[in-house]
Structure 1
Amino acid sequence: MRPISFLHCADLHLDRPFSGANRLPNSIHEFVRDSAYRSLRRIVDLAISNKVDFVLFAGDLFDTSYRSLKAQMTLLIELQRLHNAGIHSYLSHGNHDALDGEWVSLTWPESSYFFPSNVEAIPFEQDGKRLAYIHAFSYPSRHVNEKMVDRYSRVEEDVYQIGMLHGNLEGQTEHSSYAPFSLSELVEKDFDYWALGHIHKRAHLLEEPPVIYPGNIQGAHRKETGAKGCYLVTLSEASPSTSFHQTSDVTWHRPTIDLGAFETMQDLLHACEDLLNQDLFASGGHLIEIELTGISHLHTQLLQEDQLEDLLLALQLNREMEDNHFVWPYKFSLKSKPSWDRQVLEQQEGFIKDILVTSDDYKENDLQEALAPLFEHRRARKALETIDDQDQLVKEAEELLLSYLVENNGGDIK
């Protein structure tokens, strides 16, 4: 069999909104909003420049079952570019853009194949010779909980067999268990490559055969950090070759700074500026959440009203969009600890110990109940941000209260 080459991408999520970075300058917001479209364009550029045989799109082409005309037209234009270059494309719909949604019907290029709800094996042929079969299905509705992997099987020997599966590896509890599978089940199918989708974090699960999650093509919130893109794959009788290529131009980062290394707020500000000016962020767009760690007397200062906000605003000065490049610090996460020892305070009797016990006993529902009047108030909720980490909020409230008591001789920490 002659070698074949292809690109494997997944989870385009076209039209997906960004979240977690509020109050972006207009120039940066516009650039960020269209970043997934640019990443898709670069994937097609990569396919054309490498003269691959085809491109695999393993599910969640669109972010919702309603596909906007803009998103569809963007995909159509890019698939037409592939078609004009003689490159085939094979596409499946996932749980986000299942087949039971609503959309404007378009005519797609002849070389683009969209898989139906049942598992099919579609041959790839070149110069009258059959070189590969691509096996896949599209989600008929959002929830597909059965083991779809059971429906995959080889259809012909001496031809490459490639499985496209948008689903969840069993045992991964961070994601909904759609179309679950185990690695042993994939290996038993005796395929040459498994092109996975659904998990947004890049993962090379197995070398032989290659079993790969390429991740999504553009991070859309603070938990989707790092480079995003696709895999370039070559299959041959000798051995498979895979390489990741970044196509995203907006990247989320979460670097850390040890507060214990600094004596003053000005020292900390200079360290943050040095971090933002490093070569790593010299091109493209970068959204930065700075995580403050360590043990420091500055911790209690940063707990005071508006201190972190003021520090963030100082870092954001003069950081507008410039020549398709920006570095925007959007958040501080206070993971540091005060200079006093909580374990020592726990040994004391009295009011401070009562505070610690109450904090430890605080349940998630208690917090939600306490905050409900604020979030239900018509005016108050407009000024409130979504609480991403309720445990962290309780911790900060505890430390703020203790900082007033302990540092004003409310407790003996000697």
Structure 2
Amino acid sequence: MGVSFRFIHAADLHVDSPFRGLTEVPPHVREGLGSSTFQAVRHLVEAALREAVDFVVISGDLYDMADRSLRAQLALQREWQKLHAQGVRLFVIHGNHDPLSGAQANLEWPSSVHFFGADQVEAVPVFARNGELAAHVHGISYGTRAVTANLASRYKPAADGSYQIALLHGTVDGHAGHDPYAPCSLAELVGAGFHYWALGHIHQRAVLHSYPHVVYAGNTQGRHANETGAKGCYLVDVSDSFETKLQFLPLDTIRWATLHVSIAGITSEQALLSAMEQAVTSAAAASEGRSLMIKLRLEGRGPMHRVFTNAGVITELLGGLRERIGDMDSSAAYIPGAQWSWIYRLEAATGADLDLEALSVEDSFTGELIRNSNNVQADEQALQQLLDEALQSLNGNARIRKMIRVMQTERAAGWFVQARELAAGMLTEDMDGQSVSLPEQDAEQGGERK
């Protein structure tokens, strides 16, 4: 029989992370983004003290860069001292963004903070507030940025009957969009003899397995458009019989969101603006007081689709919507911490007010176009051949060729559908000579590998 205790599992703080690819951002939004990762650390410490935890574990990437900023280091030192003053221990491993090889200031850290080294997996006993042995915490840090070895295979639980916690910054069974650092399998972790794997590196929180628990805490603050939704940490309660309960605690101050607005039934710009404004207002009301970075995506079919074939209209709609939303939360520019909403992108993925299924069976040029395009879309090889032929004249330039490869991977299917929509629309209705513009490559994708 063990002893009951409580701890917090956090990961991927990325303190002082830069926010790239955003333009036309007003000062209060830029300031809020710049301070958000620091605020998340403060909220982490406040949560640890409020919930009276016995200790905190952080599974890598405290900083955003190997050569960590002095501001970020001083911020963590200040917050960790608050935990130390209340007797809360902290166990930390470093990951691929903040390996031990990176430059760091010569600072004095509280004795209650334990940083795991990179030479071998270390096991450290941790005691509950009543002085009884609660658990062993195991961990190993990255010595360099790119660790491709299976670190999980080095972890061995202590054979003393206590609760065993393993801190690991790595990739379980692969993950799209993330470098495969410290790769391992879920089956391997489940069978390793630990009670709780406290994982870092993947920024989307997830409980991969229960009993034993294999858990990604996710990052503490979303940093770009691909990191949507609430971000924070897990509060973990362990009973004297090792029953383990998890509770998610949000720590973020700014949330990234993609809002979907249908144009079905909308016949005027005024009605469209009202629908978009309502979507933003509803999202803000449901964000638990957090500020929002919003991408608005117009979808569905309707007569307003004709308007969106002019890229200038999208730009003007975005400007008008920003003004309307800005009037609602203008106080945010003057009151620190006030909630605000910023629409950083408006994109249209709409279709003409057409019944493509009905048109596809017509004995007409339009019907033939739709049938042939459906066949090509269903055949990946045929679609790629069509794109290669269309872009042949541009592939002679090496720089443009590289850009095309990226754009083809991310946008090919979407562009093909748009082209079919435009062609069908032009054949079935008068387009009034309006020009056609395809959407630009997203600038807010984040840019870096995790």
TM-score when scaled to structure 1? 0.87
Judged with a 3 Å threshold, the aligned counterparts in structure 2 of structure 1 residues 100 and 46 are, in CA distance, closer, same or farther, namely: same
Structure 1 residue 348: Cα displacement: 5.8
CA distance in 2, matches of 1:371, 1:325: 47
CA distance in 1, matches of 2:277, 2:321: 7
Judged with a 3 Å threshold, the aligned counterparts in structure 2 of structure 1 residues 282 and 152 are, in CA distance, closer, same or farther, namely: closer
CA deviations over 1:6-43 (Å, ceiling 9, x no partner): 11000001121224543111111101211011011001
Aligned to 2:125: 123
Native 8 Å contact 1:281 1:327 kept in 2: no
CA distance in 2, matches of 1:330, 1:371: 32
From 263, 277, 285, the counterpart of 2:267: 263
**Identity over aligned residues, as a percent?**
33
CA distance in 2, matches of 1:39, 1:395: 41
Residues 44-193 of structure 1 aligned to structure 2 (within 5 Å): 44-117=45-118, 118-125=120-127, 129-193=132-196
- Structure 1 unmatched runs, 5+: 377-385
Aligned to 2:289: 283
Structure 1 residue 172: Cα displacement: 2.9
Structure 1 residue 218: Cα displacement: 0.5
- Structure 2 unmatched runs, 5+: 401-405, 433-450
Judged with a 3 Å threshold, the aligned counterparts in structure 2 of structure 1 residues 409 and 77 are, in CA distance, closer, same or farther, namely: closer
Aligned to 2:226: 223
Judged with a 3 Å threshold, the aligned counterparts in structure 2 of structure 1 residues 181 and 69 are, in CA distance, closer, same or farther, namely: same
Judged with a 3 Å threshold, the aligned counterparts in structure 2 of structure 1 residues 4 and 369 are, in CA distance, closer, same or farther, namely: farther
Structure 1 residue 253: Cα displacement: 1.0
Judged with a 3 Å threshold, the aligned counterparts in structure 2 of structure 1 residues 268 and 207 are, in CA distance, closer, same or farther, namely: same
CA distance in 2, matches of 1:367, 1:328: 36
Higher mean alpha-carbon deviation, 47-56 vs 99-108, is at: 99-108
From 236, 240, 247, the counterpart of 2:239: 236
Judged with a 3 Å threshold, the aligned counterparts in structure 2 of structure 1 residues 240 and 131 are, in CA distance, closer, same or farther, namely: same
Matched position secondary structure for 1:7: strand
Native 8 Å contact 2:266 2:303 kept in 1: no
Structure 1 residue 188: Cα displacement: 1.4
CA deviations over 1:207-250 (Å, ceiling 9, x no partner): 21222111100111111110000010111233111100101010
Native 8 Å contact 1:300 1:400 kept in 2: no
Structure 1 residue 303: Cα displacement: 2.0
Aligned to 1:296: 302
Are 1:325 and 2:329 an aligned pair? no
Aligned to 1:390: 411
CA distance in 1, matches of 2:184, 2:240: 27
From 270, 276, 279, the counterpart of 1:272: 276
Native 8 Å contact 2:220 2:251 kept in 1: yes
Structure 1 residue 258: Cα displacement: 1.4
CA deviations over 1:129-164 (Å, ceiling 9, x no partner): 432111111111122122111111112322111011
CA distance in 2, matches of 1:235, 1:368: 62
CA distance in 1, matches of 2:169, 2:213: 15
Q: What's the RMSD between the two structures over aligned residues?
A: 3.2
What letter is aligned with 2:249? H
CA deviations over 1:247-270 (Å, ceiling 9, x no partner): 101001112111113122221111
Residues 337-376 of structure 1 aligned to structure 2 (within 5 Å): 337-340=351-354, 344=359, 353=369, 360=383, 361=385, 363=387, 370=394
CA distance in 2, matches of 1:285, 1:149: 38
Judged with a 3 Å threshold, the aligned counterparts in structure 2 of structure 1 residues 128 and 253 are, in CA distance, closer, same or farther, namely: closer
